[in-house]
Each structure stands twice: as C-alpha cells, then as structure tokens.
Amino acid sequence: MRVELTVNGEPQVADDVWEGESLLYVLRERLGLPGAKNACEQGECGSCTVYLDGTVVCACLVAAGQAEGAEVVTVEGLADGDALDPVQRAFLDAGAVQCGFCTPGLVVAVHDLLARTPDPAEADVREALAGNLCRCTGYEHILAAVRLAAERGGEGRS
C-alpha cells in the first residue's frame, strides 16, 4: 500500500508498504532517515522516539498506515541546517553520548520535555526519560545535558 505523510516538514510518499509495517521501518528503510533507531521493537527502549502530530511516540509501535496524513518530526528535523538544536548542543557539550545508539531517541524525548516544561525538576526529567534506555548506563551525563539545555533556556529551540 501507499502511505503519504509529512516528515520534517517535507511531504513524503512511501510505496509498497506492507500492511503490518511500522512507521519506524518506513522512516529508516523507505525514506532514508536512519536517525530513529531500531532496537527492541516493543516500545521498551525509546530509541525510535519521534514526534507524531506533536506528541512523542515509539515509531516501532505506530503502524505505517496509522501515520497516513500525519506530521512526523524525527531527530533529523531538529537541527536548522548545520545549526544544532540546543538539546543536541547540550548533549555534545555535556559528553552525554557514549555509543550513541540511544542518543537520537533521548534527544527527541528531551526536546519534547523542555518544550512542555522549560525548567523541569529532577523528578520530571527522570519521569520524562523513563522510557529511554541507555545500555552504556551513561545516565548521569544525560541528566547533566538536560540540566544544561534547560539552563541555557529555550533560545533557538525549535
């Protein structure tokens, strides 16, 4: 089947989509956007976190057909050209990246958190990121990145 959707502001068409296929597969394998990662395929790890019509979801649990007509924003859509989103910049500056596999999902989750709660309490941060696993267990630096992004405020955040 054909699925038409908007991804990072651009209209996209995916053809020959299997009816049981996930939005994640469409993004990665059909639209060439490998930012959202494929890991657990059961909504446990958060590495495929994307925005679907403005809310963060696990793209592995969205059937491709459910995204018909939807607005999707992936981690590739956060930077403005070469100018990183402040959340991405904070992850770099805080050294919140080890192997990097969980990073795209975390960046999108943190982007969503700070858009809704610009100055989150520690408990808010932990709750917001409860569904994003880092197998390197680099959580302390990730939390430091969130605090850094929050301290720098929403300047330039898309």
Partner 1 sequence: MRFLRPHTWAEALGAKAEFPDALPLMGGTDVMVDVNFGRARPNALLDLTAIPELRTWAPDGDALRVGAGVTYARLVSELADRLPALAAASRTVGSPQIRNRGTAGGNLGSASPAGDAHPPLLAGGAEVELESVRGARRVAVEEFFAGPKRSVLEPDELIAGFRARPATGPQYFAKVGTRNAMVIAVCSFALALRPGEGVGTGIGSAGPTPLRAYAAEEFLAGELADRWEKRDALPGPVIGEFAELVAGAARPIDDVRGTADYRAHVLRVLARRTLTWAWADHCEGGAGCA
Which positions lie near partner 1, rule CB under 8 A? 1, 18-20, 22, 41-44, 46, 49, 55-58, 60-63, 65-66, 68, 109, 112, 127-128, 130-132
Nearer of residues 29 and 80 to partner 1, judged by Cβ = 29
Q: Smallest gap, in angstroms, from Cβ of residue 54 to partner 1? A: 10
CB of 71 to partner 1, least distance (A): 14
As a whole number of angstroms, the distance between CA 130 and CA 43 comes to: 12
Of 97 and 128, nearer to partner 1 (C-beta) is 128
In the complex with partner 1, the residue whose CB is nearer, 20 or 32, is 20
Question: What is d(CA 83, CA 91) in angstroms, rounded to the nearest whole number?
Answer: 14
Token pair for residue 136?
């390197």
What's the CA gap between 142 and 139, in Å, rounded? 5
**C-beta closer to partner 1: residue 99 or 130:** 130
Cα 21 versus chain centre, distance: 19
For residue 47, the minimal CB distance to partner 1 (Å) is 11
Distance CA 37, CA 59 (A): 9
- The closest of 34, 42, 138, 46 to 94, measured between CA atoms, is 138
**Cβ of residue 130: shortest distance to partner 1, in angstroms?**
3
Give the nearest distance from C-beta 56 to partner 1 in angstroms.
5
Q: How many C-beta neighbours within 10 Å does residue 92 have?
A: 12
User: Quick one: 30 or 93, whose CB is closer to partner 1?
Assistant: 30
